[in-house]
Structure 1
Amino acid sequence: MRDPVVVSTGQTYDRSSISLWIESGHATCPKTGQTLAHTQLTPNLALKNLIAMWCRDQRIPFESTEVNVKPNSVILNKTALEAIKMTVSFLVNKLTASQTIEATDRLVHELRVLAKTDSDSRTCIAEAGALPLLVKFLGSEHQSLQINAVTTILNLSILEANKTRIMETDGVLNGIIEVLRSGATWEAKGNAAATIFSLTGVHAYRKRLGKKTRVVKALLDLARTGPTNSKRDAMMAILNLAGDREAVGKLIESGVVEMIGEVMDTLVEEAVAILEVVVKRGGLVAVAAAYHGNMVKKLTIVLRDGSDRARESAAATLVHICRKGGSEMVGELAAITGIERVVWEIMGMGTGRARRKAATLLRILRRWAAGLIGEHFHTQMSTTVNMTSTRIVLPA
């Protein structure tokens, strides 16, 4: 079979074979004997992808043939969904009966590919009971099988309904956390972190995951020691967790501020974005202590040399620091040579949010300067008045 298509009964056939059957005058489904409601053929894209993948693995040439048909969309959707269900059911049943690691790995890889395809495939895979099967492979010593299992769950988690299934199916969340902590490869750990990121898109799950010390420490370890892609996956999950005020406390306890300092030079955008949220959620004292007075300088460098996104986060962070840290922090910022010019540049060329934050920074700096000038003028006037009074009083 090279070009699988689905007929109105939901059965899949090779296009050339079923076309010949219909053109020969038959109006029934060869397998079920049912009369065909129509003779439109819907491509079974899920199965076609699997065939193409198998051909690549076996080094068999596979030439894709696309046929442009425009059947009724309702019929197309219903027929295509039946085809996906059939394919998923076949794979899950095979996986249940599979006896060798190699065969299991191939089947899980096929589910991984399907789960990446579309929402219907993600729904069908979860409803077919794949999650309890995948849990068993998260702890596998076979590296490829572990990667395929955790990545399949990651792809399934894209669908909102599946986030609940993942959180509530026995062993799935713990399995993901264990892969995050001690997975066999960086790829497996990174995809486990990406799954945590996906799950934290739901507020209730963000709170729940943010309370787990194992999750927080594992993400911070990966952000410190992993390769760039895995670090980025971990930091995006940390950024989501930091959206919850209680989780920020756990992150600070576990060393998030120190981690930011370690990766600031290589992953500037992610590091400054996390720093912004930590400061906003009450972590200014921890940040100030960790940076030993260099925090404002580091952010100013990002403000001057960073990407648009990094400059936006840096400007927002500096606004929070100035508002929460008082005149001492504003004075530190004002003392940096050329700071007003940098702020003016962002006001003219930054993103919309960066321009707004830069304008706020400029107002803060000018009010601070005006306050100092006012105090200085008040002091001078008082001194002059006192001296004048002294001159008047003494001759008397």
Structure 2
Amino acid sequence: MRDPVVVATGQTYDRESISLWIESGHNTCPKTGQTLVHNSLIPNRALKNLIAMWCREQRILFETTEGSKRTNRVIKNKAAVEANKMTVSFLVNKMSASRSMEEVDGVIYELRALAKTSSDSRACIAEAGAIPVLARFLGPDIGSEFPDLQVNAVTAMLNLSILEANKTRIMENGRAFNGVIEVLRSGATWEAKGNAAATIFSLSGVHSYRKRLGRKTRVVKGLMDLAKSGPTSSKRDALVAILNLAGDREAAGRLIKEGVVDMINEVINEMPEEAATMLEMVVKRGGIVAVAAAYNAIKKLGLLMREGSEIARESAAATLVTICRKGGADMVAELASIMGIERIIWELLGSGTMRARRKASILLRILRRWAAGLEDDFFYGLSTAATASSASSTTMVLPA
């Protein structure tokens, strides 16, 4: 370690190593696994001084001038780019020409690892024509005979898709695009299916591609099946891809027809944050059909407001507001039937995020209007609840 820096979680890493980690598309701390709230790297000068002192004692050369480090880095990067181009060209040619699947597997693994290192590597690999060649190894025939090869091929495609220009290359290459969907639907392993789902998520980051993917019944069904029956890691890949697709109204409608609300209800206990966030998006985009389907999730959302993480509590409250506003008195009655719901909402008002407190305030007002029996004024009250103050000080006991 020559240039120690501190990340958002307080952990210290070598600048070059952690920069590579972040540039490869990660947003978590490698040691703690926590999400990085920002990507700023703060120099750890105290540790750097200790390193310099130790190097002097050991008679190891340690450069301290920033200027010389920058010069050396520029030279190193130019050499690295040329070396990368040569390596990639050699690997892609070898992948194209080889008749041995074992040899191809080894080459694709090297490309998979290289594609993970930097944006320059991802661009270099794609420019060498790797995407259409990789697409050859995504089919079910490859998966049945060489499952590891299929995993390496779809994972290489995932790593390449992080680069914006490569998203276009994949989407415009029919064999690559359909190959990823084929792996999602009938991949030989859960890992292959999960990485195909992660590729769909990456591709859907572009709005026009999100709409295109959302129109594909095979994509929607593949993600739904994986979210229902896959192991936890693969389910998570499917859920985040579904969440992205649900941002488009047309795609949200397709997801609802395929039973996305029931699926969310099934996984909400296992993955509360992802499920609550997704349900919020679905009821927001899916209209009254989604709201009606969400009736059976109301009690689970109420429990989540009490026991969930900060993010889950916020999403649960926001989802309940949408359900109650769009669904009317029957939905509010179901919410009111939750034992101790008013106390749960008051606790959220006291300890939730700013948005969670705002949504809790609206829920409290909705419940109190409903309990007071103001049927004629009910929907008017819902329309003004967002801007109204949280409440009078009168305590009201809601029916169990």
TM over 0.5: yes
Contact kept? 2:291, 2:327, Cα under 8 Å: no
Contact kept? 1:248, 1:283, Cα under 8 Å: no
TM superposition shift of 1:348: 2.0
Provide structure 2 residue ranges, at least 5 long, that are not aligned to the other structure: 1-19, 21-59, 378-400
- Distance in 1, Cα, partners of 2:315 & 2:131: 38
Specify the alignment match of 2:340 in structure 1. Answer: 338
TM superposition shift of 1:343: 1.3
Specify the alignment match of 2:82 in structure 1. Answer: 82
TM superposition shift of 1:364: 2.6
SS state at 1:281 partner: helix
The structure 2 residue matched to 1:179, chosen from 179, 183, 196, is: 183
Contact kept? 2:256, 2:286, Cα under 8 Å: no
Larger radius of gyration: 1
Specify the alignment match of 2:129 in structure 1. Answer: 129
TM-score (norm 1): 0.73
Specify the alignment match of 1:278 in structure 2. Answer: 282
Specify the alignment match of 1:70 in structure 2. Answer: 69
- Distance in 1, Cα, partners of 2:307 & 2:75: 55
Contact kept? 1:340, 1:362, Cα under 8 Å: yes
Tell which deviates more after alignment, 184-193 or 85-94: 85-94
Specify the alignment match of 1:97 in structure 2. Answer: 97
Specify the alignment match of 1:354 in structure 2. Answer: 356
The structure 2 residue matched to 1:233, chosen from 221, 233, 237, is: 237
Contact kept? 2:186, 2:193, Cα under 8 Å: yes
The number of equivalent residue pairs is 310
- Distance in 1, Cα, partners of 2:90 & 2:227: 39
Provide structure 1 residue ranges, at least 5 long, that are not aligned to the other structure: 1-45, 47-64, 376-396
Specify the alignment match of 2:321 in structure 1. Answer: 319
2:330 equivalent to 1:328: yes
- Distance in 2, Cα, partners of 1:367 & 1:255: 32
- Distance in 2, Cα, partners of 1:268 & 1:205: 28
Q: What amino acid is the match of 1:70?
A: K
Q: What amino acid is the match of 2:108?
A: V
- Distance in 2, Cα, partners of 1:128 & 1:278: 40
The Cα offsets for residues 1-38 of structure 1, whole Å up to 9 and x where unpaired, read as xxxxxxxxxxxxxxxxxxxxxxxxxxxxxxxxxxxxxx
- Distance in 1, Cα, partners of 2:350 & 2:86: 57
TM superposition shift of 1:318: 0.4
- Distance in 1, Cα, partners of 2:123 & 2:361: 47
- Distance in 1, Cα, partners of 2:120 & 2:357: 42
Tell which deviates more after alignment, 71-80 or 270-279: 71-80
Q: Aligned ranges for residues 142-161 of structure 1 at < 5 Å? A: 142-161=146-165
The 1:100/1:67 distance shift into structure 2, 3 A limit, reads farther
Specify the alignment match of 2:108 in structure 1. Answer: 108
The Cα offsets for residues 99-146 of structure 1, whole Å up to 9 and x where unpaired, read as 211111010000000001011110100111000110111111311110
- Distance in 2, Cα, partners of 1:82 & 1:66: 27
The Cα offsets for residues 37-81 of structure 1, whole Å up to 9 and x where unpaired, read as xxxxxxxxx9xxxxxxxxxxxxxxxxxx99877242544433322
**CA RMSD between the two structures:** 2.4
